Amino acid sequence: MLLKIKGFFSGGKQTETSRESVSAPETTQENSVSKRIGTDKSLNEYGNQDLEHARELNLAFISSLIGVRALETNESKQQELELRAALDAEMTGMTERSIPKLSKSAMSLMNDLMSPEVDQNKIVKAVNEDPGLAGRVLSIANSPVYVAPGVKIKGIEHALTMLGHIRLRQVVMTSLMSNKFKIDSSYFETFGQSLWEHSTEVAINARDIADTKGGDAGLAYFAGLIHDIGKLIIFKKLIELHKKEQQQPHPQVFSNLLNDYSDVLTRRACEVWGLPEYWYQPVLEFQMASPGELKSTESVALFLANSFAELHTLYSAGEITQFELVWRLQEAGSDIDEFMTLYPDAANDEQEEATAS
The beta strands (E) that lie in 171-272 are given as none
Q: Would 208 be classed as within a structural domain?
A: yes
In a domain, 131, yes or no: no
| Distance, C-alpha 347 to centroid of its chain | 22
- Report d(CA 100, CA 177) in Å as an integer: 10
Within-domain flag for 327: yes
Distance CA 300, CA 210 (A): 8
pLDDT at 29: 43
Q: Residue 323: inside a domain, yes or no? A: yes
What pLDDT is attached to residue 156? 87
Q: Containing domain of residue 93, as a range?
A: 42-101+186-332
- Identify the CA nearest to 2 among candidates 331, 348, 307: 348
End-to-end CA distance of the chain: 11
pLDDT of residue 20: 33
**Cβ contacts of residue 229 below 8 Å, gap of 6+?**
177, 181, 199, 265, 266, 269
Of 67, 58, 59, give the one whose Cα is nearest residue 307.
58
The pLDDT of residue 283 is 94
The domain that holds 77 is classified in CATH as 1.10.3210
Do the domain assignments include residue 134? no
Give the long-range contacts of residues 313-316, CB within 8 A, separation 24 or more: 313/61, 313/64, 313/65, 313/198, 314/57, 314/60, 314/61, 314/64, 315/346, 316/345
Whole-angstrom distance, CA of residue 228 vs CA of residue 263: 8
* CA distances to 42, 65, 75, 80 from 72, in Å: 41, 17, 8, 10
**Contact partners, residue 199, CB within 8 Å, separation at least 6:** 224, 225, 226, 227, 228, 229
Number of domains the chain contains: 1
Task: Look at residue 193 and tell me if it is in a domain.
Answer: yes
Residue 306: what pLDDT? 93
- With respect to residue 89, please indicate whether it lies within any of the assigned structural domains: yes
Residue ranges, the chain, pLDDT below 50: 8, 12-36, 351, 353-357
Angstrom distance (rounded) from CA 233 to CA 58 = 17
Spatial distance between the Cα atoms of 329 and 303, rounded to a whole number of angstroms: 12
Instruction: Please give the DSSP secondary-structure letter assigned to residue 192.
Output: I
Evaluate whether 290 touches 191 at the Cβ level (below 8 Å): no
In a domain, 345, yes or no: no
Q: What is the pLDDT of residue 63?
A: 72
**Phi, psi dihedral angles at 293 (to 5 degrees):** -95, -15
- Predicted pLDDT at 174: 85
Q: Which amino acid is at 237?
A: K
Q: Please choose, from the candidates 292, 268, 290, the residue with its C-alpha nearest in 3D space to the C-alpha of residue 280.
A: 268
- Give dist(CA 280, CA 35) in Å, integer: 28
